[in-house]
Structure 1
Amino acid sequence: MATFTQTLTDTVGKLTLSGEDGPAATEAPSSGYKYAHLLPEWHRHLKLPPLEPFEHVDPGHAALKDPHPQSFLDGAKVQQLTPNVGTEVLDGVDLTKLDARGRSQLALLVAQRGVVVFRGQQAFIDADPRWQIDDWGSSFGRVHIHPVSGFAKDIPEFHLVWRDATGTSDERHYEGRINNLTVHSDVTYELQPPGLTTLFLYDSPSSGGDTLFISQTEAYKRLSPSFRSYLETLSVEHSGFEQAQRAIELHGADTVKRAPVKHVHPLVRTHPVTGDKALFVNRGFSRRIIGLKQEESDTILNLLYDHLERGHDFSVRARWSEPGTVVLWDNRVTAHSALVDWNDGIQGRRHGARITPQAERPFL
C-alpha cells in the first residue's frame, strides 16, 4: 500500500483530475426522498489551493455596543438548557429575517452560551443553499470548504452529514470500540479554525442522533488556578493528515480536495468578543504539546480529553427529533460529538448540512 505522502504527491498536488464523480450516499434523486439531491458525493474533480490568511472581524463586536443586545429575542420564548451551556429558542425568531443587527446579536449570544438551538426554522432549512452560504454563512466569516468530506453537486461549501439505518462506511472508525463518542472541535488544524457554525438536518430518526456539546470555557474554569497558569504557557500541534488518510482509505485518494495541513495553536485561547478563556484541544486533531517530551505531552492531553468527555455538568445534548431545528454553536469555545445511537434495527436516516465560517487565528 502506498504511503500517505506518496499518495498525496501523486494526487492532491494536481490541479485537475478525472471529471468522474465518486459514489453518492445511497439514494438517487428519483427515490422520492425530498432532499435526495443534497446527499453527499465524493467528487474527484474538485481540487483546491491552500487556504490564504484573511482578516476576520467578528460580528459579535457590534452587539457589545448595542443598548439592547438581545432585542432580536423580543417576543420569543427562550429557555436555558443548562446553567453553563446551551439556550433554546422555541419560537418568535425567524432566522431568515434577521438583519445585520440581529445577526450580530445572535453571534454574541452564541459566544456567550456556546450553543443555541432554534426550533420552527423550516423556512431556513428549505432556503436556497446559495443564500444560506453567500448571505447567511459569509456574514459570520469566510465559509470553509472541507478538504475531504462529500458534498452535493455544485455546493462544496456544505459539509454534509449522512447516515441511514444500514450504517455507512465511516463506521469502520468505531470498530473495536465500546462507544462511538468522537468529541472534537471542527477542523482545528486550519490556521484560522471556524467560529459561529450552523447545522441543520433535513431528516433525522424519531429519537436518537442527538449532538453532544461541551463548554470548553467552563472546562477551563474547573481546573486549578496554578494548572491553568501552566497550560497558558503551552501550544499544541493540530493535524489534518490523519483525517485525510482515513478519507483516502474510505473513498480514494483522488477525492481529497485540498492537501492536509498542520498548525500550532495555544492550548488555551481567548474569545475575541467575550474575552472568555477556553481550552482548545481535542482528541480528533490535537497531536502533541510543543516543547514537551512525548510522555509528558500525552499525559497532559489525555487528562484534558478525559476532563472534557466526562464533563456532564458542563455539557448539553441538542435534540434533532423536532423538525425545523437549526443549531448554532461557537467552535472556539465548545467541543461536540454526534451520537450514533439509533442503529440495531431502529429505522431512520440522519442527513443534514453544516455551514462553517472561519474566524480569527487562535490567540491567548
Structure 2
Amino acid sequence: MAPPNTDIIQEIEKLNLQNLARTKGNYVVYPNDKYPELELFDHQDPGHRGDPAKASLYKNAEKIFDLTPHIGTEIHGLQLSTLNDTQKDDLALLVAERGVVFFRDQDIDVYQAREWARHFGPLHVHNTFGHPPGLPEVHVVYFDTETVKKYKSIGGVNLQGAARSAADGWHSDVTYDNQPAGLTLLKASTIDTLPHTGGDTLWSSSYAAYDRLSPAFQKFVEGLEAVHSGQQQVDEAINANHVVRRKNWTSIHPVVRTHPVTGWKALFVQPGFTRSIVGLSKRESDIVLQYLFDHISGGVDFQVRFKWEENSVAVWDNRVTNHNAVFDYLEFGKRHGWRVTPQGEKPYFDPKSKSKRQDLAEKAEAEAKENAAKQN
C-alpha cells in the first residue's frame, strides 16, 4: 500500500518530535503496512536550475564558508523553512558541488521539512526502520544507553564487542534501492537529547575518493558494477518482529557513477551495503572492495567531521558522499534527530564525464587564458 494520507490527522494534532524524544525516548512505531515495489521514474534534479554563483544564497546569508577544501560548507543567517524555490535550486547545486552543507539554529519542523524535501524528489519510505506515528516518510535517529543492550547491530553495524570497527559505519543511504537517496536533510534535536560530548558525524567526498585513485586503478574500476544489498537490515527487522515493507532489497549499480548536475565522477561503493563486484570471483571482489573501503575510511584529507548542536541541520548529497555516525556516547548519553530523504536518479556512469579535479583544472586554465587575452 502507498504511504497513508495523514494530512487530516496532522491538522488536528501535529507531533513535536523533540518533545516525544525527551519524554518517551524512542517513540517510533512499526505498523504492519506493506508497500508496492519502488518503480523507476524520471528524476529532474533542481540543481540543473541552480545559479553557478548561488547568488540567492550568498547575497542573503550572513556568512558562508567552507569547512575543508574538498567537502563541507556552513551557512549562517538563512532559515531553511523560508527558502524560496530559487534558493532551493541554488542549494541543490551547492550541495552537489560541496557534498554536504550545514546550518545552525534552524526552526524548520518535521512537517515543513517533509514538504520542503519534496522539491528535490519523491520522499523515500524506509524498507524496515520505524517512523513517527503517521509520518512514514520520516526516518528517526535515536540511540541511547539501552541501544547496545537491545540490539546487536543497527543498520548492519555491529554495536557489541571489541570486534566492531568504526570504519564499518561508512555508508550512503539505501543504495540497495534502484533509485537511492539523492539530497537528504537531517535535523538534530534539543540539547537534552544530544550527548554532552561525542556523537559527531563524518562525511567523505566520493569525488575526491575517485580523484585519489591512481589513473590505472581509475580505469580499472570505471565500467564495473557492484551488488548493493539491504539483507542485514531485513535480517534485523525479522529478528525484531518488525515489518519488511517491500520484497526487493538488492540492486546493481556502477562502481563509479556520474553526478547528473556537476557531471563529475564519484566512487560509489561503501561497506554499509556494497557486497560484491559483478564479474569478479569472490576473492577478487573481496580484495578490491576491501581496498576501496579502506581508501574511503582512511581518506582523512577528504572528510569533514560535524559537531551537532541543538537545531543543527545537515543537507547532503548521498550520490557523491558517504557518512558515518560515531557511536562513542552509548555508555552515557543519547542522540536524537530525524531525516527526510528524497530519491534521486538511477545511478549511471557516463564515460565522457570528468573527475572534479580534471574539470576544475580545465576551467581554471581556460579562465587564465581568457584573462591573459584581455590584458593583451
Under a length normalisation based on structure 2, what TM-score does the superposition of the two structures give?
Answer: 0.81
Deviations 1:304-345 (A, max 9, x none): 00000111111011110x21200011000000111011133x
- Mark the CA change 1:361 to 1:33 in structure 2 (over 3 Å): closer, same or farther: closer
**Structure 1 residue ranges, 4+ long, deviating more than 6 angstroms after superposition:** none
Is 1:161 the equivalent of 2:141?
yes
- Give ranges in structure 1 of 5+ residues lacking alignment: 1-13, 16-28
User: Which 10-residue stretch deviates more, 158-167 or 109-118?
Assistant: 158-167
Q: Which residue of 1 aligns with 2:330?
A: 343
Q: Which residue of 2 aligns with 1:106?
A: 91
Q: Which residue of 2 aligns with 1:9?
A: none
Q: Which residue of 2 aligns with 1:278?
A: 266
Q: Which residue of 2 aligns with 1:70?
A: 55
Q: Which residue of 1 aligns with 2:105?
A: 120
Q: Which residue of 2 aligns with 1:96?
A: 81
Could you tell me how far 1:164 is from its partner in structure 2?
A: 1.7
Q: Which residue of 1 aligns with 2:118?
A: 138
Distance 1:140 1:32 in 2: 28
Q: Which residue of 1 aligns with 2:341?
A: 356
- Mark the CA change 1:69 to 1:350 in structure 2 (over 3 Å): closer, same or farther: same
Match of 2:188 among 201, 204, 214: 201
Could you tell me how far 1:166 is from its partner in structure 2?
A: 3.5
Could you tell me how far 1:241 is from its partner in structure 2?
A: 2.0
The amino acid that maps onto 1:104 is D
- Mark the CA change 1:309 to 1:95 in structure 2 (over 3 Å): closer, same or farther: same
The amino acid that maps onto 1:340 is F
Deviations 1:132-180 (A, max 9, x none): 21x2111011100001001110011111111123434335422232434
Q: Which residue of 2 aligns with 1:21?
A: none
Q: Which residue of 2 aligns with 1:3?
A: none
- Mark the CA change 1:34 to 1:283 in structure 2 (over 3 Å): closer, same or farther: closer
Is 1:292 the equivalent of 2:273?
no
Q: Which residue of 2 aligns with 1:150?
A: 130
- Mark the CA change 1:107 to 1:56 in structure 2 (over 3 Å): closer, same or farther: same
Deviations 1:120-141 (A, max 9, x none): 21x11xx2x33321x2111011
Identity rate of aligned residues, in percent? Answer: 43
Could you tell me how far 1:36 is from its partner in structure 2?
A: 4.6
Give yes or no for contact 2:125–2:138 (8 Å, CA) kept in 1.
Answer: yes
Q: Superposition pairs for residues 228-267 of structure 1, below 5 Å?
A: 228-249=218-239, 251-252=240-241, 254-267=242-255
Match of 2:68 among 82, 85, 101: 82
Q: Which residue of 1 aligns with 2:316?
A: 329
Is 1:41 the equivalent of 2:24?
no
Residue correspondences, number: 324
- Give ranges in structure 2 of 5+ residues lacking alignment: 3-15, 350-376
The amino acid that maps onto 1:247 is A
Give yes or no for contact 1:56–1:359 (8 Å, CA) kept in 2.
Answer: yes
Give yes or no for contact 1:151–1:159 (8 Å, CA) kept in 2.
Answer: yes
Deviations 1:185-237 (A, max 9, x none): 00001000111100011131122101111111101000111210111120001
Could you tell me how far 1:40 is from its partner in structure 2?
A: 3.9
- Mark the CA change 1:119 to 1:273 in structure 2 (over 3 Å): closer, same or farther: same
